Amino acid sequence: MRLCLLLLLLALCGAGIPAAARSLSLRGSWRIRSGNGSLELPGEVPGCVHSALLQRSLIQDPYYRFNDLNYRWISLDNWTYSKEFKIPFDISQWQKVNLIFESVDTVAEVLLNNVSIGKTNNMFKRYSFDITGVVKAVNFLELRFQSPVLYAAQQSRAHTLYQVPPNCPPSVQKGECHVNFIRKEQCSFSWDWGPAFPTQGIWKDVRIEAYNICHLNYFTFSPLYDNHAQEWNLEIESSFDVVSSKPVSAQVIVEIPKLQTQQTYSIELQPGKRIVELFVKINKNITVETWWPHGHGNQTGYNMTILFKLDKDLNFKKSAKTSRAQQRASLVCHPAQARLRRALCGVPALVFPILLPVIALSEQTERTVELIEEPIEGSPGLSFYFKINGFPIFLKGSNWIPADSFQDRVNSELLRLLLQSVVDVNMNTLRVWGGGIYEQDEFYELCDDLGIMVWQDFMFACALYPTDRDFMDSVRMEVTYQVRRLKSHPSIITWSGNNENEAALMMNWYHIDVSHMGTYIKDYVKLYVKNIRKVVLAEDKTRPFITSSPTNGAESIAEGWLSANPYNTKFGDIHFYDYISDCWDWNIFPKARFASEYGYQSWPSFSTLEKVSTKEDWSYKSRFSLHRQHHENGNDQMLLQAGLHFKLPQSPDPLRSFKDTIYLTQVMQAQCVKTETEFYRRSRSEIVNGEGHTMGALYWQLNDIWQAPSWASLEYGGKWKMLHYFARHFFAPLLPVGFENQSMFFIYGVSDLRLDCNVTLTVRVHTWHSLEPLCSRATKHFVMKAGEAVLLYQERVPELLRRCGNCTRQSCVVSFYLSTDSKLLSSANYHFLSSLKEAVGLQKAHITAIISQQEDTFVFDLETSAVAPFVWLDVGNVPGRFSDNGFLMTEKTRTVFFYPWKPTSKSELEQSFRVSSLTDIY
């Protein structure tokens, strides 16, 4: 169940006072000035300096060619934001006035009317400054920023007791140093897939709040299920700032119409900061529906109204109604034990006389998101999987990074596009990676709506961190704020302390002397266990907390929070990367309990690169191509992996060769990640040599931060790479998986379905030179068990080839699918019997397309002259996606649909359309 919150506040303001509270937004136009005053310009808030300079055409697109280096001077300067504003009400009528920054990026001194009122140094905190004695009718507000690069270096130098590595990123990343000394988006100093753009600015909302009597600081509630009474309950917690000199009496009315629940409470608020706790019983005669992840059920919601009525004589009333998603709370019911899941989301301050600055739902000890770590029969170690509502769910998805270096460019349309692309390919999970940001509210609201589970890292990644008092205090406030803001969302299923820092320390990435290791281990436990974990458990007891990813989970805890081998496949989760071994060989992959990172690089499409490059850049070994690659030897590794199974492009035309190479890197990436993901999915129900019971596959990475080679399946801006199209198949709820082991061909059936189903498996063999199948075999009907991966078919490859006649490994390809009563239940999968560079009979396919329109969708009727592997349909810069792409075409005709993201036409598509397949690059 999810509760959509509508808060009403009735408040007695006192004689002659017109309202309980007033708010003034300071969004909009500000002035921005460089450190020496030589440059001054208007800039928008929310926003940053880079965006302001771009909007005034004072710089080019920061992503164009080498501008990440050319514009380093922006991050090295100390900028000042200023704004003059009038208060549109009589300020003398208000007992308390606060200046609220939802977030500041990052290090700044705040001055109002030339009086310093505070400082900021953490991008992930909300700041509130009491300006009651400083604010006037007309005001001048300044934020004097310090360069984050210079600040980080300064903090590092001040830490004289011992080094806190790493000092700087690898030179190939072209980044800035000492990012671990500043509480700022860690990848803004560069990463192996992104540029260095350490921004400065007011990147979230800013406002003035004035109030009398009392003020609601934050609001949380916890849905719980009482097993004995067989009823739902809500625990409500409200925090007030009572500025009245006398106690304030109030009534609280809670109403959930669809659950036929209404209760009234009387409270009395004493002066000062006060917490009010209430307990609401839900009508036990009403069935409560549950929130489920995508593919497993509905994301049900309910409306709830909370009315705070302060002093009955008041004849003033205002309703604060935000968007449906902003006010959502959720309960998730355990079908067996009928226990509750969770919660309401944070509601930002509303620009009404009634202010609701922080509203968040919490939950107590009962929950139905469970991380199961228990013994497995036939295996040492422990399981590692999640139960939602008591049901084990295989987590299918990817890892989310910031969608842009400049967060003011990440709008609702882009978030919707990217997250819709997640569920469109059967994913149910995203891991919000710990080197980026805690995402904006709308991200989590969309995940709630779409049923996307979120594995939420705290923002610490690939580094050790200082643990001095100021740093720890800042982190504590950051974590408290973020947990209160985010814990309401049913989509968030776990907190994780950091990205790869347990592994970094215990595998000694930074070559720490053994005699000093104890100091760093102590710091690790101090930061993630005694600080972050302590805060999380106090604020949110409804979700598991994992200290790191990867981790051995319970085994790491048993070893003192750090495991000697964090990559142990018999515990916890793993990250796995191997760019040298043959990715078509499934034996290279770890049969782990949970794979939370793995992947291969590819280049984005030419139409994406073309926007930020020029003709001289369009070759694989150009200065631009080398500059854009931030992973050591990444371009060579892609060609090495591709060359294991494909002929490399040989065109004498540099541009043609570049485009062909881009295409081939996408083919390689898609095929590699397909092979690895299918391995993890078929390993969910078996133990082999003590390994297996894999219950999660989150490949690295979902999205791109700029136009460059990376592990992403979605290019910058959202265009689908071949990998993303493949993901729709390898994450399908019902999937046949084929593989070989010692010349034996196996097909497993993998089901994420909630119910058993009757199916037939059909296995076909084609020669490369014919569109007619050489042979076909169908099994009898059998029952595919829900939530299992089981062996369906096996045959020795020599026997398969003999049975089909006139067939060799090099001349034939195997395809297979699941059906019932001649109706497809799965898309066709395939298995290559040899490398395609050794394929015999593979002909150059001539593929044509007839385009027609059906309402807002376009139909591409394809016809091919020959079997065509990796058929790629491209419409250049026309935004949208196909229903399928990168496919093996073994039949003469095929129909594919194009879903445009913006209005287009048949003629525009015909002009932009290009089709190619593997043999076109030879």
Query: So which residues are the catalytic ones?
Result: 500, 597
Contact by Cβ (8 Å): 148, 75: yes
Tokens standing for 143? Answer: 């934020």
Where are the extended beta strands (E) located within 28-68? 28-33, 40-45
- The DSSP bridge pattern shows strands 302-310 and 3-11 to be parallel
Question: Given the DSSP bridges, would you call strands 231-242 and 272-281 parallel, antiparallel or unpaired?
Answer: antiparallel
Closest to 549 measured CA to CA, from 574, 527, 529:
574
Structural tokens at position 707: 């136009």
Query: How far are the Cα atoms of 87, 127, 208, 238, 754 from residue 352, in angstroms, in the given order?
Result: 15, 20, 12, 19, 46
- If phi > 0 it is left, if psi is from -120 to 50 it is alpha, else beta; for residue 867 that is beta
Rg (CA), the chain: 29
**79: nearest Cα among 26, 112, 31:** 31
Q: How far apart are the two ends of the chain, measured CA to CA in Å? A: 56
Phi, psi of 181 (to 5 degrees): -100, 5
* φ, ψ dihedrals at 237, nearest 5°: -130, 130
By CB atoms closer than 10 A (0-12, 13-18, 19+), residue 922 is middle
Phi first, then psi, for residue 215 (nearest 5°) are: -140, 135
Task: Give me the residue label for tokens 């600055």.
Answer: 357
Of 903, 821, 788, give the one whose Cα is nearest residue 394: 788
Residue 384 three-state SS? coil
| Residue count (the chain) | 922
Question: CA 521 to CA 464: how far, in whole Å?
Answer: 10
Burial of 879 (0-12, 13-18, 19+ CB in 10 A): middle
Helix (H, G, I), strand (E, B) or coil at 869: strand
Token look-up 């060579």 returns: 636
CA distance 609 to 196: 18
Could you tell me how many helices (H) and strands (E) the chain has, helices first? 18, 49
The phi, psi pair for 535, rounded to 5°, reads -65, -45
Q: Residue 699: name the closest of 686, 681, 682 by CA.
A: 681
Dihedral angle of Cα 611, 616, 622, 627, to the nearest 10 degrees: -40
Residue located via tokens 């595919």:
784
C-beta separation of 576 from 677 below 8 A: no
Q: For residues 762 and 778, is the Cβ–Cβ distance under 8 A?
A: yes
What tokens appear for 144 in the block?
């004097």
Query: Which residue is associated with the tokens 């065509």?
Result: 868
Q: How far apart are CA 664 and CA 99, in angstroms?
A: 54
What are the residues whose beta carbons fall under 8 Å from the beta carbon of 383, sequence distance 6 or more?
A: 372, 373, 374, 375, 376, 593, 693, 695
Q: Would you tell me how many other CB atoms lie within 10 Å of the CB of residue 850?
A: 11
**Contact call for residues 267 and 250 (beta carbons, < 8 A):** yes
- How far is it, in rounded angstroms, from Cα 908 to Cα 695? 44
Are the beta carbons of 58 and 71 closer than 8 angstroms? no
The CA-atom distances, in angstroms, between 890 and each of 384, 585, 669, 917 are 40, 24, 22, 12
